[in-house]
Structure 1
Amino acid sequence: MTALFWARKAARAAGETNQMQNAQIKALEKRQRQQDIDQHEAQARLIVIWFVYVENTDDIYVRLSNASALPVGQVVVTVSRADLNRRTVFDVPYLPPVENFSVEGLDVIFEQYVDGPPQIYIKDYPSDLLTVAFTDINGVRWTRDMRGKLTELVVDQ
């Protein structure tokens, strides 16, 4: 009887140990998946696009930033207003690693899409108003809108 008692106790302890180890393995796998995602998105998260309104003027400037250490290629800046059925696309061969990059002529076009003095809040604009698509150093294609939403583009092969 005593042997049976200790055998049950050992089996229960082994089961609890297995549960703890399974939980630890799941936590490690989850952490590894997040690290993989972070590494995959590392350069793309450092590419941004926005516009700057100069107060007391009608001047608007569109800016791109590549805060990574390496350039990105096949850059396409799109200014569009689905509600007005208007769209303009600018192709930029590459975006070097700089804080403020200006695409010649983009500021003028962007002003035409805003229709008058710009709103103070970005949320007042359609989300597709200003986007940038690019290919990172690993060959992955991304798009980012002016609100910061980053999306990986899946290319059919």
Structure 2
Amino acid sequence: MAVRIRLKRLGRRNRPFWRICATDKRAARDGRVIEELGHYDPHLANQDKFAINRERVVHWLKMGGSPSKTVTELLGHVGIGPKGDEIPPKPWPKQKKGPPPKAVERLAAEKAKADAEAAQAEAGAADASAPAAEAPDAGPTPAETEAPDASS
């Protein structure tokens, strides 16, 4: 039986995580496994995203198990070579900390422009309402003074 060390997908839609498994090469991706060796969750921080049973992984590699490309990359981060030998661990790629600086500058400029336009509109509305509020009362309107009395 040809043993392959590969990932088995679990989780829900748009939120997957994987178990690292020793399985028969002919089995389905999420099918029956011989042994579960660890897990990989890419949504967690670097130190928590990957955990394995190092002893069992080395055992299966020494017995002739072949890791998939992705598992080979993951094992490289903990210092295990494709044949079960020790290698220097590779660092995890740095995670992005937020939007790129150009996008931040563009958003800040758009916000400043919108604030300036809002301030101008507010000042224009205050100027238009100020003369109406300061206008003296001209007295009663003609309709108020000519109220015909129907009872007389």
Q: Same fold (TM over 0.5)?
A: no
- Give the greater-gyration-radius structure (CA): 2
More strand by share: 1
Q: TM-score, normalised by structure 2?
A: 0.27
Q: TM-score, normalised by structure 1?
A: 0.26
